[in-house]
Amino acid sequence: MLKTEAWEIFSKIIESVGTIYVQNSLSYIEIYVYKIMFHIGLYSKGLYKIEEKIKKEKYQDIYLLAFGGLFSFLLKDYKKALKYFREIEKITNSSFVQYFLGKIYEELSEYDKAIEKYELTLTTPELKLKAYCNIIKILYKLEKYEEAINLIDFIIDSTEGENLKSLLNHKGLCLLKTGNIKDAKKSFEKALEISENDLSVKQNLATCLLMMKDYKKAVKLFKDVYEKNDVDITLLNNFTTALAGLGRYDEAIKLCEKGLRIDSQNSDLLINLGYCLYKKNMINKAMECFKQAEKINPEDYTLQNNIAYCLISLKRYKEALEILNRILQKKAKDDILLNKAYCLFKMGMYKEAAECYEKIDPERIDFNIKTIIGICYENMGDKEKAVEFYNKALTA
Tell me: the pLDDT tens digits for 209-251?
999 999 999 999 999 999 999 999 999 999 999 999 999 999 9
Query: What pLDDT score was predicted for residue 31?
Result: 85
61 band by pLDDT with thresholds 50, 70 and 90: confident
CB 79 within 8 A of CB 19: no
pLDDT at 22 (0 to 100): 46
- Look up the CATH superfamily of 143-229: Tetratricopeptide repeat domain (1.25.40.10)
> Cα separation of 9 and 81, whole Å?
14
More confident residue, 59 or 204: 204
Burial 285-301 (b: 16+ CB within 10 A, else e): ebbbbbbbbbeeeeeeb
Helix (H, G, I), strand (E, B) or coil at 118: helix
Q: Is the pLDDT of residue 167 over 90?
A: yes
Mean pLDDT of the chain: 92
The predicted-structure confidence for 302-348, as pLDDT tens digits, reads as follows 899 999 999 999 999 999 999 999 999 888 788 899 999 999 999 99
Residues 152-165, mean pLDDT to the nearest whole number: 92
In whole angstroms, how large is the CA radius of gyration of the chain? 30
Which range has the worst mean pLDDT, 15-29, 106-120, 376-390?
15-29
pLDDT value at residue 62: 84
Q: Does domain 1-126 have CATH number 1.10.150.120?
A: no
pLDDT-based confidence at residue 14 (cuts at 50, 70, 90): confident
pLDDT tens-digit map of 24-34: 557 788 888 98
Closest CA to 168 of 118, 116, 204: 204
Considering the chain, tell me which residue range(s) the CATH 1.25.40.10 domain(s) occupy.
Answer: 1-126, 143-229
Q: Half-sphere exposure (CA, 13 Å, Cβ side) for 129?
A: 15
Q: Are 360 and 345 in contact (CB under 8 A)?
A: no
Quick: pLDDT tens for 101-146: 999 999 999 999 999 999 999 999 999 999 999 999 999 999 999 9
pLDDT of residue 132: 95
Confidence of residue 54 (pLDDT cuts 50, 70, 90): confident
Residue 72: other Cβ atoms inside 10 A: 23
CA pair distance 136, 361, nearest whole angstrom: 41
In the predicted structure, residue 278 carries a pLDDT above the cut 80: yes
Give kind and range of the element (H or E) at residue 317.
helix 317-330
pLDDT of residue 112: 97
Residue 102: how many CB atoms within 10 A of its CB?
A: 27
pLDDT at 332: 76
